[in-house]
Structure 1
Amino acid sequence: MSSVIEQSVQARMVASAPRMETLPATLHYDRQDPFAVRMAFPAPATLEGADVCWEFSRELLATGMEAPAGVGDVRVRPFGYDRTVLEFHAAEGIAMVHVRTADLRRFLDRAHALVPVGDEYRFLDLDRDLTDLLDGRD
């Protein structure tokens, strides 16, 4: 069984113009980092013209699909019957995208099958993390 899940989704950029641009995005989950989810946007989809990847908690995504969640750089909330809004806050501004809630649920179902909620600690490599942390010491 693979330890990594990747799923392509279509994100719709919320802009001041009446139409929303559809952007490709990839959701990524790795059981070696069991609390985190990544959402990546390819260079052509970003203002900077470079790949952009946002990392946030799996719990934030799950909670935000049901009720507004998050107070930091990433915020998630339901929108209507079948969409979820993800807000990405950076110094350059705020990007808001709509994603089909069903796509997010399918991704989370796969992530939860790989690492059930409450079992994340079983997949942490604390010795490696501590070694990595202390190797940078002078």
Structure 2
Amino acid sequence: MTRPLHSRLGTAAAWLVASALATTALLFTAEVWAQVLCAIVAAAALRTALTTAWRATREGANPPGTVVVRLRGTVNHATADRTSRRLADALAARPAVLVIDMSEVDLLTNAGATALLTAAGLAHRQSIDVVIHHASPQARTTLRTLGLDRYVEYRNR
């Protein structure tokens, strides 16, 4: 599902080189507008390099047989079907552990949480452990209200 760690770190290194090149161009550019543009490009490339490296090393910490599904934005009735499909696809690989990363979830409604509850129930029947990472207090409350606590473990590493 994900690329190997060395490939993702190589991508981060390429972005770091792009940042260095933009910084070098900044030093040799006389026009103010070009300097501003180079500074913006350098900052954006550096941010992308650091984010890519951080995510690659964070994913590399998972034991073999672990599948990570990252949810983003709002998980509600409008996105519940897509979330259900993503979780079902992840469970189809029959991992030992399914990790649901909610660090980038802004809002989880009851309708969206139902998709997680359905997937967790299916995982439980298949003897697949489910771990939810970085759920906000609001999301945890919603998940507890639906009874998801009996199927999952919460972690905030």
Comparing both structures, which one devotes a greater share of its residues to helix?
2
Give the TM-score band, short-chain normalised.
under 0.3
TM-score by length of 2: 0.22
Which is higher, the Rg of structure 1 or of structure 2?
Answer: 2
- TM-score w.r.t. structure 1 length? 0.24
Larger relative strand fraction = 1
